[in-house]
């Protein structure tokens, strides 16, 4: 039996689509992951440069808000098919139906909450961001690919660190669907390769 001499600690948090995400004083989506990650760092289990976060769909903007608000918290972030431009989400794809969940960018009070955690609008120039991978599908009509495009571009422009901010565009793929088994395997392998490289994970196997 082979045993790898490293382990992965996973911290997950989820903000449902409900009115709590619309609180102007501090949307729960913007604080859930930082709050859940704190018990892991520092600890005997892991360290900041070995901790990664992954989220897709409604978890995409949640993951995107973490490095933009707390770039010091994790070593890597993977955000998939998420609504990253929270000020224009209602103009594209299925976004017109989300105002009941997220609030309306055209409402002054909702705008305050949305701009406070919109990943596209909270990048700060001259910041050392963690390694970040934004994933989207070129046929995603639910969350238009432009969200991931803009998020990756904003972080690339602001990044002064040496780690990458990358955009992963899956061809002939929708909102987490439409991919072949081969594509799904390839994407999963690419995600873990990205994490292994940027978290400096090396495995020594014992036979």
| Catalytic residue ranges | 57, 175
How do 3-4 and 131-137 pair as beta strands?
unpaired
Residue 176 has pLDDT above 80, yes or no: no
Which of 194, 63, 81 lies closest to 148 in space, CA to CA?
Answer: 81
pLDDT tens column, 52-67? 999 999 889 989 999 9
Which of 65, 54, 78 lies closest to 131 in space, CA to CA?
Answer: 78
Helices (H) and strands (E) in the chain, counts: 6, 6
pLDDT tens column, 74-86? 999 999 999 999 9
Please give the Cα distance from 146 to 84 (Å, whole number): 9
Question: Selecting from 2.60.40.3620, 3.40.50.1820, 3.40.50.2300, 3.40.50.1010, what CATH number does the domain 20-201 have?
Answer: 3.40.50.1820
Please give the Cα distance from 182 to 133 (Å, whole number): 20
User: What's residue 88's pLDDT?
Assistant: 95
């Amino acid at each position: 039996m082979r045993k790898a001499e490293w382990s992965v600690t996973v911290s997950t948090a989820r903000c449902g689509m409900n009115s709590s995400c619309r609180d102007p004083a501090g949307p729960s989506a913007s604080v859930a992951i930082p709050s859940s990650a704190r018990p892991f760092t520092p600890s005997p289990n892991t360290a900041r440069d070995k901790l990664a976060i992954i989220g897709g769909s409604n978890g995409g903007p949640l993951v995107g808000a973490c490095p933009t608000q707390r770039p010091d918290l994790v070593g890597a972030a993977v955000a998939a098919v998420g609504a990253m431009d929270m000020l224009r989400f209602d103009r594209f794809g299925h976004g017109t139906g989300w105002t009941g969940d997220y609030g309306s960018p055209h409402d002054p009070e909702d705008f305050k909450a949305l701009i406070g955690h919109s990943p596209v609008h909270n990048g700060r120039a001259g910041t050392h961001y963690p390694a970040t991978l934004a994933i989207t599908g070129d046929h995603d009509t639910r969350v238009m690919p432009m969200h991931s495009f803009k998020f990756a571009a904003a972080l690339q422009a602001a990044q002064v660190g040496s780690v990458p901010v990358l955009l992963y565009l899956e061809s002939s793929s929708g909102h987490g669907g439409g991919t072949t088994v081969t594509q799904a395997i390839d994407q999963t392998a690419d995600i873990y390769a990205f994490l292994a490289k940027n978290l400096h994970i090396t495995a020594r196997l014992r036979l």
